[in-house]
Amino acid sequence: MTAPLTPPHQPPQNDNAWQAPAPPPYEGYEKPDPDPDGDSKRDLLDAGVTVLVMTVLGVVMGLLWLWLAPKVPLVSNGEAVFLKDTEGEEAIGADGTFVLLGVAFGAVTAATAVWLRRRGGVALVIALAVGALLGSLLAWGVGVWFGPAQDVAQHAQQVGEGVTFDAYLKLQAWGSLLAWPLSAMVVHLGLTALFGPRDPEPEWEDGGV
């Protein structure tokens, strides 16, 4: 009588039976984005659209600046051109109007960007800053281009001696061009901190010592 080839108490030869089960992921675990390149392309597309829209809005701001900015009256005596009201503050009023419009446009554009794209991103922030600066430059150019003639002497000769005419629109302080970008950055930062998405906090199981 021969002994059996396989011992009766030997476990089956199955490698999978000795592998420890994989631990379950903790709560709050998020799988990585399967298509990061798609998100990057979408971010760049949104950034490009943001820059384009804000630049076009510069035309609207420029026309509003031309309409709302106080006019500076000038008068000529036939030999020179003078301010009609030497104590007037219309000259600095043009800068103040431009700054106020920039702050308003910055708040509106930043709030719209947060509302349409709550996920935000570095590309969107850069687009807001670049678009606001380009929009401010375009607004300044539109106001000067469609405003009164820049050649004051020739304009005085055309209207005649003793006739009041408006000076051309200009900015006394170049820092006024930064009102829109700074306002957009501050408002976007505040709204993102208040209403932006937050990362889920992991929940840890209580364990005894």
Residue-level pLDDT at 195:
75
Number of H helices, E strands in the chain: 5, 3
CB neighbours of residue 195 within 10 Å: 11
Whole-number Å distance between alpha carbons of 185 and 195: 15
Q: Which residue has the higher pLDDT, 73 or 112?
A: 112
Residue 52 has pLDDT above 50, yes or no: yes
The mean pLDDT value for 90-97 works out to 84
> Count of residues for the chain?
209
Predicted confidence (pLDDT) per residue in 136-184, tens digit:
999 999 999 998 888 777 877 777 777 787 888 889 899 999 999 999 9
Q: Are 180 and 132 in contact (CB under 8 A)?
A: yes
Whole-number Å distance between alpha carbons of 18 and 184: 60
Q: Is the pTM for the entire model greater than 0.95? A: no
Q: How confident is the model at residue 209 (pLDDT cuts 50, 70, 90)?
A: very low
Q: Which residue has the higher pLDDT, 151 or 13?
A: 151
Residue 208 has pLDDT above 50, yes or no: no
Whole-number Å distance between alpha carbons of 24 and 66: 65
Mean pLDDT highest for which of 19-23, 39-43, 121-125? 121-125
Residue 17 has pLDDT above 70, yes or no: no
Angle between the 90-116 and 122-146 helix axes, to the nearest 10 degrees?
A: 150
Whole-number Å distance between alpha carbons of 29 and 97: 51
